Every structure is written in C-alpha cells, then in structure tokens.
Amino acid sequence: MSLLVEWRNGHSNLLNSKICLFSLPGVGNIGKAAIDALNSTNESIELARLHHTALPPLATLDEDGLLSPPHLSVKAIQFGEGEYLLTITGTSQPLEPNNQGYMAREILELLKQNNVAELIVLAGMVDEAARKEIFIVPSSSSYRVDLESRGANVRRDEPSSGAIGMAALLSSLGPVYDINSACAIATTIGASGDITASQNLLKSIDKWFGLKLLIPNDANEKLIDKLKQISPSNKEDLVSEITQTHDAFYM
C-alpha cells in the first residue's frame, strides 16, 4: 500500500465513527469550504493524516506553523453521546487517474477496517444562476431507499454526464467495500466560491442525517475566510487541463 496513516493526538483508530464526510477542492470549492467551516465551528479533533506518494510534492505550513508534507486530514466531530462524525479533506489529490484510483481504494479500505458504514462526498455542480438546489446521489439501490426514507432529496438523473476525480471514485465505489456511499451536490454558477451553496449543503446534510451539528450564524464569515484561503491565485489550472476533453464534471 502507498497510503501511510499518521495517527495524531494520541489516537490509533477512528473512534468507531459510522459516518464520514469527504471533500476536495473542486467546483466552486463548495464541499471543501463546507467541511473546513464545519470543522472550525465544531472544534474538531485531528485523528490522523493520510500521506500518499501520488500527492503533488508540495509541503505547506500547517495550523501550528510547522512544515507539513502533502496529506489529507482526518478529523472527528462529536455530535451525540459517544458518537462521532468523521471528516476527510485536503488541498490536493493525485493528478494521474490511476493514482486517484489507488488512493481512493486505500482510503475505502481504511474506512472499512474501522467499521465506517456511510461515506458522503460533498461537491458542487455547475448550473444556471437561477437554480439553487441541493440533492444527493447514492451508489446502491438499497441506500437510495434508506436516504429517501430520511427525507433526502435523492436524484436518479443527475449528474447526467457523470463525474471524474478521486471524490467521484469514493462516492461510487463504496458498495465494493460494504460501505454506503453517496455524493451530496450543490448547484452553483461555477468557478467562484459560492458561500450560499456551501451553507445550504451543510444544512441539508445536517437535516438528512440527524447530526445536530453546530452551524452558527457566523458560519458565512468562516466560509468566506476558507474560500479566500483555498482559492487559486494565478496558478496553473491543472484540473482544467485534465478535464478539457471530458463532458463530466470534476469532483
């Protein structure tokens, strides 16, 4: 395996968490900003960092001002008595499709080993400005029935062109690892950070899964800060280069 799990803060497991939210930078950075704001407002605990040889070799300063190798961060948020919500996010993903597949499968194997039952990927989808919708697309018929019973806005006809990227693999490969996986999508106008979509995506997830997480009134401000931190600034648009010949949207 190329995935190295660095356990943090004295932890050695995923606290028996049953549900995990995942996102990477993508369309409008909706999912990434939402998870970052959720972690911040709910005082999350970092359980582990996931290092992989396929991640772009860019070391950055972490929250403690220390030089950190490229990684995805696994954090936990307590939402009930002894119940924890996992979040996984990072600033990048492997650029080559085969490496995206390897890393996605290794993350799913880690979740399976720790008995995580549900994996929800948060993402954005480009649409006309007048359309403001939040919906979810599961990867198995049984999970679709379950989500519909919870009152989730489940779609069967979108995204019509499909999706690519590591997050797309994670949201669709879950059943192979006996994990209920789905992609929760917010429509957005495109490249600019859509704070309203991120906020509405958080509220929908919280409602559908009965998490009762802290989504305070100042979450908009936190989302703005996060979007500013992760927005590109005159950097080479590698995602556009990868996807220029594809009709599917990148997650």
Q: What is the CATH number of the domain that holds 31?
A: 3.40.50.10900
pLDDT recorded at residue 215: 78
Question: Residue 56: which pLDDT band, with cuts at 50, 70 and 90?
Answer: very high
**Contact (Cβ atoms closer than 8 angstroms) between residue 23 and residue 32:** yes
Q: How far is CA 150 from the centre of its chain?
A: 21
- In the chain, the amino acid numbered 186 is A
Q: How confident is the model at residue 81 (pLDDT cuts 50, 70, 90)?
A: confident
Task: State in Å, rounded, how far the first CA of the chain is from the last one.
Answer: 24
Distance CA 204, CA 185 (A): 10
% of the chain residues with pLDDT over 90:
61
What pLDDT is recorded for position 1?
Answer: 63
Of the given ranges (30-34, 72-76, 129-133), which has the lowest mean pLDDT? 129-133
Domain count, the chain: 1
Arithmetic mean of pLDDT, 234-239: 38
DSSP H stretches of helix in the chain: 30-41, 97-113, 141-149, 166-173, 195-208, 219-230, 238-243
Mean pLDDT taken over the chain: 85
Other CB atoms within 10 A of residue 53 CB: 13
| pTM confidence score | 0.86
Q: List, in order, residues 6 or more apart from 244 with CB less than 8 Å away.
A: none
At residue 197, the 3 state secondary structure works out as: helix
- Which has the higher per-residue pLDDT, 195 or 219? 195
Q: What is the mean pLDDT of residues 56-77?
A: 93
| Domain of residue 143, residue span | 3-250
Split at pLDDT 50, 70, 90, the class of 132 is confident
pLDDT recorded at residue 226: 55
